[in-house]
């Protein structure tokens, strides 16, 4: 369980570092030649998934998808 906790915390730290070092204008951009969502929409999905899975782990069952980000194009 300690290795899982360590990996989750490392992933959260790396994600936090990445989004703290890009400006908000980058959130509306897409990766070229790749059929994907904007960087902001990807962040919303990734952060929401991590928050949702951690919440579910704490309570022992799926509690639905939820994301603390209010706007997919805003880092707040």
Q: What is the pTM of this model?
A: 0.73
Greater model confidence, 15 or 75: 15
Question: Which ranges of the chain does DSSP label H, i.e. alpha helix?
Answer: 2-20, 39-59
Residue 73: predicted pLDDT:
65
Q: What is the pLDDT of residue 50?
A: 87
Q: Please give the Cα distance from 70 to 76 (Å, whole number).
A: 7
pLDDT tens digits along 24-65? 888 889 888 888 888 888 888 888 998 898 899 889 999 999
């Amino acid at each position: 369980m300690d290795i899982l906790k360590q990996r989750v915390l490392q992933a959260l730290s790396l994600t936090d570092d990445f989004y703290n070092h890009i400006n908000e204008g980058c959130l509306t951009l897409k990766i070229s030649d790749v059929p994907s969502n904007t960087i902001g929409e990807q962040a919303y999905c990734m952060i929401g998934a991590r928050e949702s899975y951690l919440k579910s782990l704490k309570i022992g069952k799926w509690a639905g998808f939820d994301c603390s980000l209010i706007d997919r194009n805003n880092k707040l």
